Amino acid sequence: MIRVLVAARSSEVENAVRSSPSLVFAGTVDPYHSTEFPGDVLLIEVEDPNEQDWRALADLPIPVVLLLDSTDSASISSALRSGIRGAISWDATPREIESAVHAVNAGLVVTTPASLAELLPDPQLFAEELPEPLSGRELEVLDRLAEGLSNKLIAHALNISEHTVKTHVASIFAKLGASSRTEAVSQAIRRGLVML
């Protein structure tokens, strides 16, 4: 069970924690004035975030999940770069809140897809270094290769034939100068084409 402290103006966040079978509501806290944090994760609603808030919250002794009114990707990216572990929308479902708490408690980072895209390098910047860039479909196949999926499972996931997958894999090998799946994935990671 993960003990969750809450700093929120609405009761919905507390109710979401209380309704979860894997979370324990550890009480409310004012993170800016408290010195004790008897919990594992802090869920906090932030209305008008600024850099000072991010630094103060990132310095807390427990990981923080922000619940933001605005899911502005620049603001979320700034928070994550400051050391905050999670940032989700204030209207997240109880299941999303529970998942975010579990993720940050496990040492992972939680964010929205839009802010993640802003944090990551543009794969095309690296792909352009290749003599011939990978196509969109080849990048999808490459992502599945990095997950360790077989050709059959890749075909099923992308709704294409196994023969088509083999063709894409051969093309990926040729473009990356790789002779095996492991080498292709290794090359792709170095070039920023996939994230593990």
DSSP string computed for 138-179: HHHHHHHHHTT--HHHHHHHHT--HHHHHHHHHHHHHHHT-S
Is the pLDDT score of 163 beyond 80? yes
Kindly indicate the confidence band of residue 17, based on its pLDDT and cuts at 50, 70 and 90.
very high
Nearest CA among 104, 46, 97 for reference residue 72? 46
Is the pLDDT score of 27 beyond 80? yes
Is the pLDDT score of 122 beyond 60? no
- Quote the radius of gyration of the chain (alpha carbons, Å): 21
- Position 159 scores a pLDDT of 93
Per CATH, the number for 123-190 is: 1.10.10.10
Rounded mean pLDDT of 149-162? Answer: 92
- The most confident of the ranges 72-76, 86-90, 114-118, 126-130 is 86-90
Kindly indicate the confidence band of residue 85, based on its pLDDT and cuts at 50, 70 and 90.
confident
**Side-chain half-sphere of 101: how many Cα atoms within 13 Å?**
30
Residue in the structure block whose two tokens are 């003599």: 131
pLDDT digits (tens, 9 = 90+) for 127-142: 546 778 888 899 999 9
Where in the chain do CATH 1.10.10.10 domains reside? Answer: 123-190
Kindly indicate the confidence band of residue 195, based on its pLDDT and cuts at 50, 70 and 90.
low
Per CATH, the number for 2-118 is: 3.40.50.2300
Please state, rounded to an integer, the average pLDDT across all residues of the chain: 84
Kindly indicate the confidence band of residue 111, based on its pLDDT and cuts at 50, 70 and 90.
confident
**Side-chain half-sphere of 102: how many Cα atoms within 13 Å?**
11
Rounded mean pLDDT of 109-133? Answer: 65
- Position 126 scores a pLDDT of 52
Kindly indicate the confidence band of residue 119, based on its pLDDT and cuts at 50, 70 and 90.
low
- Position 6 scores a pLDDT of 93
Is the pLDDT score of 61 beyond 80? yes
Given a contact cutoff of 8 angstroms between Cβ atoms, the answer to whether 134 and 175 are in contact is yes
Number of alpha helices (DSSP H) and beta strands (DSSP E) in the chain: 10, 5
Lateral strand order in the sheet of 64-68 = 23-28, 2-7, 41-46, 64-68, 86-89
Distances (CA, A) of 181 to 54, 91, 104, 147: 41, 41, 31, 11
Where in the chain do CATH 3.40.50.2300 domains reside? Answer: 2-118
